[in-house]
Structure 1
Amino acid sequence: MAGKRRDAQAGEVAVVADTTQVVIVGGGFAGVACARRLAGTPGIAVTLVDQRAEQEFTPLLYQVATAELPATDVRFDLRQRLGADAGSQLQVRTATVVALTAAPDAAPGYTVTLDDGELLPGDVVVLAAGSRPAYVDVAGADRFAYPLYSIDGAVQIRDRLRQRLGPNRRGRGFQLAVVGGGATGVEAAGALADALGNGTGPLGSTTTLTLLEQGQILLPGFHDQSQQAAAAHLRERGVEIRCGATVTEVAPDHLILSTGEVIPSDLTGWAGGVTAAPLVAAAGLPTGPGGRVTVTPELTVPGYPGLYAVGDAANIPTPGAAGGWLPQLASVAAQSGQWAARAIAAARRGEPGQPFRYQDRGVLALLDRQTLIAELGERYHEVHGRLAFASWLAVHAELVPDAETQLAGWRHWAAEFYLHPARQPATAPAEPVPS
């Protein structure tokens, strides 16, 4: 039976269905946070759609790339994590969403089309489709560079390292490059230098590692002190830093810069930024920088009632932030997903949504297993020793909302990453690429 509520803005009585059908597109930090917050809310049924029904703990991907952690440690089954089953008000579907359209005949709601042709109706849709690497028209990048934004890319880098650093190839020259000098690129370069130097010193004489940033500084968005400290630390570990030149082409064994210079590279990791998932453009939604949906302060899409965009799929306006938008961070994704869930529950009760308020936890960069740069507000901190990784994990622990998984994962990550002796990427046991 339908119920009634009073519209909080118009003061009119509107008919409300017994159950509000919410479809969440994407099982990353934003989608999972939204689903968890809505789970058990009276009158709301949630269907979360993800192409693998798995969540990747992306802050640890570069440690998968260097074989410090197995891929299984940073991948979580969504049904187990969310407690979803066929008989509950929260379900997880394994599928790829290929289209998002408004409901026919001017009816409220939306239709989500899956890759098998099935149509999912949704009174409310949360677009949490995430992002993909932004190759920005760099020739060959999509074929010869390995992205540092997914488990697939991290495992490919790890396996490539094993091939080049196996017992039969010791002593031979090996050139590596990482494109992108933001936090992802800096952490990846630090982890690679740590692994290839066996955690004890700079890179060997036959190995080169180049970190390339098209801007003039590493870690844009960090304070000057952090930027300088990161550059100095990486150089001490043998990393060559090249700023101020754009990569125009990636080939199997080299890079070409906008200056015409050729940089030898047997293995290129890509941390050059991300753009929105293809679904965003296919849906014809209003977009801004990075192809992301430009949302209102309440995280809704202008002109699309009941449609929310969160996480890496959204440009979230924030006064004072770089470009006027919040950055693409896991913490932003998780908090925006939670906020959208609160807004959906409030709308169900006939209450208006509230502008999103991001709780800034600061920014971090783990340069190697024993060196952490942290900025909390205007304060700069440099942490060394085992406390560095422990501090890094503690800050990221809130991204694992399941207390049991959080504790088990923290112990395992700590034991794998900094309690065991440093090891070369080539010595870890083989592990298949996720399918």
Structure 2
Amino acid sequence: MTAAASLPIRHPPLSRALAAAARAVAEVLAGRTPEAALAAAADEVRPAARDLAFNALRDFGRGDFLLARLLSRPLKDQKARALLLTALSRLERRPEEAHTLVDQAVEAAARPFKGLTNAVLRNFQRRRAELVAAADADEVASFRHPRWWLDLLRVAYPDHWQEIAAAGNGHPPMTLRLNARCRLASADFLARLAETGAAGRALDETAILLDCPMPVERIPGFREGCVSVQDWGAQQAVRLLAAQDGMRVLDACAAPGGKAAHLLERHDLELTALEADERRARRIDENLVRLGLAAQVITGDARRPANWWDGRPFARILADVPCSASGVARRHPDIKWLRRAADVAAFAQTQAAILDALWPLLVPGGKMLYCTCSVFPAENGEQVRAFVARHPDARRLPTGGELPELQLLPTALHDGFYYALLEKCP
């Protein structure tokens, strides 16, 4: 063994990851996205910082509750506050690391706040049982969701709202989609996956649920375009839309292009992918290039077809509309604390405008699949019922069995999604 080979792997100190995570949490609470906030972190600390920051954001309602009882007055310095939130989240999740965590958090703190950081975290350790009991008795702190969010869940799902909230605080599953054009059997892919030291199981012919998340560069076949990352709930869209070879199809609000790519992997289509944001539209192109697929990618507002539609109707329309993203909160924990109750109604107005604008683009006998990643009825069933009431030529079709809609709630298998299939009567 060479001297170089025998050297131990050196990991960056926890203090650096804590500092990077705290900066990200402060920026997110000021309105920035977690991805943008973490982009400034050094490569060697970014994975650990991301884990710390995302857990702190998942636990924000609880951390905020605890800090209010640990501080004599509100802390105005947002970076110092974010560091305490991050450290408290870690202390609760990994109490066995308490000694190291406190030491490293003090190291990460700016000089004026080192004493405060040490005092607050050691005070939490001394009063842990008392503070945890108080947090568990408080609904927002216990369920780690805003009160308005919990109220909506309680009304919509009186028997399951607690499980839905709990799922929103967990880590999401990582599911892969096998490109049907590569003709890669799930058993063969799982064998290749095992060679990398990873494992998973098939959920259907092309969906693979990984036992543990892994970097995409380690996924066999990803670089070659034979595999993509896509939640199993999102993969249901292609089955429900039931497109056929040769059809003209519109994927509205298409970024980052997962559903458009899935459609093209399954069928030979004349597909138009529409996205309002030019930067996000470029991601559709990038994904299609990696997969060896082609579509017409257009930047435009789905509410204003006159600005981008060529006048030729579509046989199928996928209306994957903007929404609260309440069904994927565990992937984007910032939304729980940056969204407001009024945002749900605002999204519902946008969704209604998109549906009304796209409906005339559908051929008689054609089908539109309405899709959200929300669990709130105002964006889902209530939205579709109102649309059908406005459009006498719209008929609801079953999405499985006799049900006229499919509401997936977040579980260990998939995120929360809603689907409703509409047919335009000839």
TM-score where L is the length of structure 1: 0.22
Q: Please identify which structure carries the higher helix content.
A: 2
Structure number with the higher strand fraction is 1
TM-score normalized by structure 2? 0.23
